Structure 1
Amino acid sequence: MEKVRKRKKNKKRFTPLKILFLLAVVLLTGIGGFIGYTYYQVDQTVKQIQGPVKNTGDRIVEKQKPVSILLLGVDKRQGERGRSDTIMVMTLNPTRSESRLISIPRDTKVDIVGQGTNDKINHAYSFGGPDMAIKTVEKFLDIPINYYAEINMEGFTSLVDAVGGVTVNNDLDFQVENVHFPIGQVNLDGASALKFTRMRYEDPRGDFGRQMRQREVIGQVVSKLSTDVSLSKFNAIMDVVGKNAQTNVSFEPMRTLAFDYMDAFRNQKNLKLEGTGGKEADGIYYWHPTEDSLNDTKVALRYSLDLE
């Protein structure tokens, strides 16, 4: 049986579609507006952002079987490969028309596969790119990863600006670099959205609060993409995606995911790892999930992928 903790439903659910907006949503909004032209544009953009990691999902998607996707928000500084400060895993089961989504705290201490070290999970990307990140997440959650998609968080700024900014509902009063974010509705441009989503030290929820703000901003971006698309805006979005995203999902399976897996996208359950964190002997902060919570998460994901 699937073991998933019951939680209060948020008024505004965060669906997997909102994280995959650089892929399937852009495709969908484009098809709705400028059919022939956008097919060409999306196809060219998807070719441009193809990553080096081999995918194991095309045949699975063709047969409409359960599939898993690793979603990464990468913070790239000049001269560095970057770290995956946002790490999410999505599973999609088209037969049962359901999906699962789990966010992995960036400070989670795990075995870094291929590096031979016990370190923060977001360092896997820094050590070995998406390939090492995928293998590390696979071991941590005991599931195969078929696809991955990543966005450079600096490109996130350009995406928000490309849709004309967003309005979010903020539940915590805080200030970052002289920018005040009061409780209630807040209008954000790209630069302020990046500050809004990066803050975590002043939030009593830590990384989980940061994840909530990221989801809120992404949700508002998707809402704008779905309701207000012009040719110039579509071109601007394609330009941002081409410069800042990377994936191993090619055009045809992306189109299949966008259409044949739509019911699974919509019927989504958020999973949450419970645990504690603190500074250890090396003076560095690490986070550890409880054994029961990690086991329940593994069971839920494996069930979603028909592995249980």
Structure 2
Amino acid sequence: MDKYLKYIRTSIIGKITLVLWILILMLGIYCFSQIFIYLPTMIFIIAIIIFTIVVALLGFAHYKIPKVSLFLEIIVCICLIVGVFAVNKVTTFTDKITETNEVETVSIVALKDANITKEQSFDDLTLAYSQDDDSSYKHSTEILKENNKKVKTEKPYQNMELAYKALKNHKVELLVLTNIGKSDLSVIDENYEDYIQVILSKDYPLEKVTSQDVDISKEPFTIYLQGADLSSGDNINSTGRGDVNILLTVNPHTKKVNMQVIPRDLFVYIPCKDASSKLSYSGWWGGIQSSIASIEDQLDIKINYYAKINFNGLMDLVDALGGVEVYSHYTYDAGEYHFEKGYNHVDGQKALMFARARKMLPLNERSRGYQQMELIKAIFTKFAQEPTYNHAMSVIDSLESNFTTNLPKEDFFKAFQLVVDLLPELQTMENHSIEGEYQWHYDEVRTNYYQYYFYPADGELQAVKERIDYVINGK
């Protein structure tokens, strides 16, 4: 011991290697404290044992062969610093995407060419709101009060169409816009966002989504994949139209997978409104919890988890992967893009067009469903085949503000391992869509609204349930 202490006092290399050794120990302890929830117990124990052996050998080398120890400790330190960066990035990412508190954003808007700002007085302005939306007047009053604003008049209109026309015709200067209002305007004028600007807004929390947890490495489960068409500027926790609705059912024991597209225009019961309308509106009005409840009610199934991505996230994800090879069932043109039947290389923008195109496809919505499932397969395939550090970091960057899920953080590694293990099944499984027809029908939620809704053919919903149950029950 005396020789060692003398060595530390008199040797510069000894001092440096000791400091580096202590730094390695601290960095290692920090990394393990952050990642233990993500790794299976056995892998974590093996990693701890390997790290302990490395630290012990470096401690021995630091005294016996200091120059070699210095070189090795520098290498290990660099690796651990990179590891700390990666660990911090992963933990920040998982914390953010599992914050599943959805909000409804209520806004007071004006025409862009009206040059109205939130700093000016509203004393001479008239505020329009729709009587079809019970909460619009109450929320607008709160927003005005919290911002110390008063308007000259608050003018009710029978529905959003009349209120929006009044705004466009300059009969009023301000309009209350809730999620119901956004869904109305998407039918009245799909380009409405080009004409309006948000002056004031407030987020109202919705009911938190509760997961039905299982051990996904051992028990079958169903996850709801939603592609949300959010308004520009909305964050991922804002409610939005569920434009893409896919159920992915996995049985890790039998290695069976089923993927099922649910039409966005399916006429479903919407619990938060105690009435029926389009499935896509269920998410807009009540958040993803409402979408899940509508699907569970329609199919008589249980959904364990959800994953929600917006369209910006889809584009960024595909670009982060360097593009993907996606199979198209058809040859067609969509916008400026051309797709051949067979495999096509797509970047983010082209992938979005691939997922959204429908009018030029032979079966319209059903054909789009087939294409969407092929895109999901392509993304899974690319990431599972090339799980590099750079890909992982790029994927995290692409999803951080565009993705959310209620899958527990400790199951993320299991989920990735499942994708790798089930990749052959994912690539060869059949795509299923629902046959049916569109019919003109009144909207039970909004007065005097008629739209086209999708009604499944006899036995179609039962067939969907049976396919899901087949996988769940391990047949």
Q: Assess same fold via TM > 0.5.
A: yes
Structure 2 runs not aligned, ≥5 long = 1-38, 40-79, 102-207, 443-448
Which residue does 1:77 correspond to in 2? 231
CA contact (8 A) 1:56 1:146 kept: yes
- Please give the alpha-carbon distance, in whole angstroms, between the structure 2 residues aligned to 1:63 and 1:226: 17
Output one character per residue of 1:118-176: Cα deviation in whole Å (capped at 9) or x when no partner.
11111111011111111111101111211111111221111121122234343433333
Residue 138, structure 1, aligned to residue 296, structure 2: yes
Where 1:243 maps in the other structure, the secondary structure is coil
Residue 273, structure 1, aligned to residue 440, structure 2: no
Residue 295, structure 1, aligned to residue 450, structure 2: no
Match of 1:194 among 331, 352, 372: 352
Which residue does 2:361 correspond to in 1? 203
Residues 1:240 and 1:119: Cα distance change in structure 2 (over 3 Å)? same
Which residue does 2:94 correspond to in 1? 46
- Please give the alpha-carbon distance, in whole angstroms, between the structure 2 residues aligned to 1:134 and 1:115: 14
CA contact (8 A) 2:211 2:407 kept: no
Residues 1:185 and 1:63: Cα distance change in structure 2 (over 3 Å)? closer
Residues 1:253 and 1:201: Cα distance change in structure 2 (over 3 Å)? same
Which residue does 2:212 correspond to in 1? 57
CA contact (8 A) 2:380 2:419 kept: no
Match of 1:219 among 346, 356, 377: 377
- Please give the alpha-carbon distance, in whole angstroms, between the structure 1 residues aligned to 2:339 and 2:333: 6
- Please give the alpha-carbon distance, in whole angstroms, between the structure 2 residues aligned to 1:140 and 1:39: 41
Paired amino acid for 1:132: S
Residues 1:142 and 1:266: Cα distance change in structure 2 (over 3 Å)? farther
Paired amino acid for 1:75: D
CA contact (8 A) 2:384 2:419 kept: no
Residues 1:123 and 1:255: Cα distance change in structure 2 (over 3 Å)? same
Which residue does 2:220 correspond to in 1? 66
Where 1:47 maps in the other structure, the secondary structure is helix
Which residue does 1:241 correspond to in 2? 399
Deviates more, 1:123-132 or 1:295-304: 295-304
Paired amino acid for 1:49: I
Residues 1:159 and 1:267: Cα distance change in structure 2 (over 3 Å)? closer
Match of 2:408 among 250, 255, 258: 250
Paired amino acid for 2:457: T
Residues 1:48 and 1:95: Cα distance change in structure 2 (over 3 Å)? same
Displacement, 1:280?
3.7
Residues 1:266 and 1:137: Cα distance change in structure 2 (over 3 Å)? farther
- Please give the alpha-carbon distance, in whole angstroms, between the structure 2 residues aligned to 1:90 and 1:63: 15
Output one character per residue of 1:48-85: Cα deviation in whole Å (capped at 9) or x when no partner.
10113444333x21793332211111111226632111
Deviates more, 1:182-191 or 1:253-262: 253-262
Q: Which has the higher contact order (CA 8 A, sep 6+)?
A: 1
Residue 107, structure 1, aligned to residue 265, structure 2: yes
Output one character per residue of 1:233-259: Cα deviation in whole Å (capped at 9) or x when no partner.
322210111111110012212333444
Please tell me the root mean square deviation across aligned C-alpha atoms, in Å. Answer: 3.2
The structure number with the bigger radius of gyration is 2
Match of 1:147 among 299, 305, 318: 305
Displacement, 1:208?
2.0
Where 2:401 maps in the other structure, the secondary structure is helix
Paired amino acid for 2:228: V
Paired amino acid for 1:111: Y
Residues 1:118 and 1:222: Cα distance change in structure 2 (over 3 Å)? same
Displacement, 1:98?
2.4
Which residue does 1:124 correspond to in 2? 282
TM-score (norm 2): 0.51
Paired amino acid for 1:248: N
Displacement, 1:92?
2.5
Where 1:119 maps in the other structure, the secondary structure is strand
CA contact (8 A) 1:97 1:261 kept: no
Question: Where do residues 90-101 of structure 1 align in structure 2 (5 Å cutoff)?
Answer: 90-101=248-259
Where 1:291 maps in the other structure, the secondary structure is coil
Deviates more, 1:35-44 or 1:182-191: 35-44
Paired amino acid for 1:71: L
Residues 1:57 and 1:258: Cα distance change in structure 2 (over 3 Å)? farther
When the two structures are aligned, how many residues end up with a matched partner?
275
